[in-house]
Amino acid sequence: MSTTQRSSALLLGLCILLGLSALGYLLGEGALRVKEHERSVTVKGLSEREYPADIVLWPIQFSVVDNDLTALYTRQQRHGEQIRAFLLLRGIEPSEISLSPPAVIDKQVQQYGDGNYSQRYSATQTVTLYSTRIDQVRLVMQDLAELGQSGIALTGDQYGNSTEYLFNRLNDVKPDMVEEATREARAVAEKFAADSDSRLGKIRSAQQGQFSISDRDRNNPHIKKLRVVSTVEYYLSD
């Protein structure tokens, strides 16, 4: 190889070495910048509020027993009419009252009956009140004992037949609660950034949790507690 060729090869190798060094430096700087941008903090924000329920479902279940089937249906119909009159007298609208078909049991033909019964037939029936006037209905509930005093056998709040209070305005309050939860999350993130000598950047990701609706407590089921937690991840920088 001539001197000129050796010089050219040496120059080419030097250029390649310098190019690789420069590329390595640029890649290293880029990796550092990416790593800096990957610094983040994940925080949660809570929004919790109380609202009155807007619908009440009040089932009033009663039972009748008799040895004569015809007499049983007569008494059952009379008791249903008495309950309806009781509600109407206290300001409940007819459209808010519904009556289920009676469920009649013949104890004599029950497969697992032991024959030890004083009345052959029993019937249960439910008068259901569906209303948006929560306060009005709760006042009527206080007078329910009058039905028992008139000879109607009320079965009480059995499983699947208890009073329900519903809240159907979630879409109306959801935007404000999500905003509040996000604002609370940012406040926590800003405190963390300040404590770690960092600056809070843009949102990297955000996740809205499920809304939960529960009774405020067992004595106030007509007051609903709404709760949502938002999870937000922020970038951090020095």
pLDDT of residue 115: 61
pLDDT of residue 11: 56
Q: First vs last Cα of the chain: how many Å apart?
A: 56
- pLDDT lower than 50: segments of the chain: 23, 25-36
pLDDT of residue 158: 57
Backbone angles phi, psi at 189, to 5 degrees: -65, -40
Q: In sequence order, which ranges of 90-237 are alpha helices (DSSP H)?
A: 134-141, 145-149, 170-195
pLDDT tens string 51-95: 999 999 999 999 999 999 999 999 999 999 999 999 999 999 999
Angle CA 183–184–185, to nearest 5: 90
Distance CA 73, CA 11 (A): 112
pLDDT of residue 95: 96
pLDDT of residue 161: 74
pLDDT of residue 32: 38
Distance CA 152, CA 178 (A): 49
- Are 221 and 36 in contact by the 8 Å Cβ rule? The answer is no
- Are 211 and 226 in contact by the 8 Å Cβ rule? The answer is yes
